[in-house]
Amino acid sequence: MRFWRRKPAEAQPANEAAPPAPAEPTAEERAELHEQTGRAVERTRRGIFGRLTALFEKADFGEAIWDELEEILIGSDAGLETTTAILDRVRQRARKEGVKQSARVREILRDELIATLREPGGTVPAWSRPDAPAPLVILVVGVNGAGKTTTIAKMAHAFKRDGATVILGAADTFRAAATDQLKVWGERVGVRVVAHQPGADPGAVAFDTLAAAESSRADVVIIDTAGRLHTKSNLMEELKKIDRVIKRKDPSAPHETLLVLDATTGQNGLQQARTFTGAVGVTGIVLAKLDGTAKGGIAFAIAHELGIPVRFIGTGERMEDLAPFDPVEFVDSLLA
């Protein structure tokens, strides 16, 4: 599945009134996305969501079945608030249409699950726009252990595979191991990593990374950040500072601020998202390690309670195992 779709500058229409739409994926890319998404949610589908199969095999959808459906959704980490909102809409539609057949309730549930994931939509990811800024600056945040550095490497690999020139910034200077790890990934992927000494000013690293991207005419800049400092307030202030430094270099940047969440942490990830969003205005979520949890319903809670779109999902441990998030593919894979 292609991530990078920007057209050459000479191909851009002059004086365009609205940004051009991103290119539609090919049939081969859709098939790849279907396979990746199915692999990512396999444990969830076979686990708690697997109970839906037996639930919808019953001819009529009585009150006891509604209660069981609620239990399944809450148990999948969708959470009480999100589950209540989804099922309220499903019930309203079922009553309005006079529906009692389980098969039709399943169709309505599918529609409402997809709609929930699309609620925070309306914005096309910056990297998929034909008029993407150059360089495209992506700030990546998240707690230590969430899979942040590995996710950055997977993103760099995908962008490079699609023909983009990528530079990484090692702005997590709080841990020497974080810089070393990013350098190792940079060598594996074959992209440049801008780094300073341990304990250096993270803002200076971000500034130098953008300067390097500008001088080398790079397409994509991905900046890593700390996931832990002595206190949570220190961490958030450091992230705000990096954000300010980036804006001094390019007022429109960062063009995306992605929060990497470990899908296996479930509802705990919601509080992380609230904290990071309050500090740096998260524009999208990467659900890392989604293939390692049987509770993939956290995606619905993120979309409904936080209003933040999921941009990518982790589908495995290989470098290629990062997929763009597609609400229809996600829900259909869960209900398969």
What DSSP letter does each residue of 293-322 carry, written as one string?
-S-TTHHHHIIIII---EEEEE--SSTT-E
pLDDT at 12: 45
Q: Tens of pLDDT along the chain (336 residues)?
A: 677 765 444 444 444 454 445 567 788 888 888 899 988 889 888 887 888 888 888 777 778 888 999 999 999 899 999 999 999 999 999 999 998 888 899 999 999 999 999 988 667 788 887 777 889 999 999 998 899 999 999 999 999 999 999 999 999 998 888 999 999 999 999 999 999 998 899 999 999 999 999 999 999 999 999 988 656 778 888 999 999 999 999 999 999 999 999 988 888 888 888 888 888 889 999 999 998 887 888 899 999 998 999 999 998 888 999 999 999 999 999 988
Task: In whole angstroms, give the CA distance from residue 87 to residue 105.
Answer: 11
Query: Taking CA 243 as the corner, what is the angle to CA 240 and CA 249, rounded to the nearest 5 degrees?
Result: 145
Q: How far is CA 147 from CA 38, 95, 111, 286, in A?
A: 20, 44, 31, 10
Would the CA dihedral through 296, 302, 303, 305 be positive or negative? positive
pLDDT at 208: 97
Write the pLDDT tens digit of every residue in 69-78.
999 999 989 9
Overall pTM > 0.85: yes
Q: Where is 84: in which H helix or E strand?
A: helix 80-97
Is there a common fold for 40-118 and 128-282?
no
Name the 3-class secondary structure at 257: strand
Q: In the CATH scheme, what architecture does the domain 128-282 have?
A: 3-Layer(aba) Sandwich (3.40)
Strand partners, 192: 167
40-118: what fold? Four Helix Bundle (Hemerythrin (Met), subunit A) (1.20.120)
Task: In whole angstroms, give the CA distance from residue 319 to residue 158.
Answer: 8
Query: How many CA atoms lie less than 13 Å away from 161 in the CB half-sphere?
Result: 13
Task: In whole angstroms, give the CA distance from residue 27 to residue 34.
Answer: 10
Task: In whole angstroms, give the CA distance from residue 56 to residue 27.
Answer: 31
Tokens of 136: 């495209």
Give the domain ranges of the chain: 40-118, 128-282
Task: In whole angstroms, give the CA distance from residue 205 to residue 169.
Answer: 7
Strand partners, 312: 286, 324
Q: Per the annotation, where are the binding residues for GTP? A: 142-149, 224-228
Task: In whole angstroms, give the CA distance from residue 135 to residue 102.
Answer: 51
pLDDT at 8: 47
Closest CA to 142 of 291, 240, 276: 276
Q: How far is CA 135 from CA 160, 166, 327, in A?
A: 14, 9, 28
Task: In whole angstroms, give the CA distance from residue 161 to residue 330.
Answer: 24
Q: Per the annotation, where are the binding residues? A: 142-149, 224-228
Order of strands, sheet of 166-170, starting from the edge strand that comes earlier in the sequence:
192-194, 166-170, 220-224, 136-141, 256-262, 284-288, 310-314, 322-324
Name the 3-class secondary structure at 55: helix
β-bridge pairing 322-324 and 310-314: antiparallel
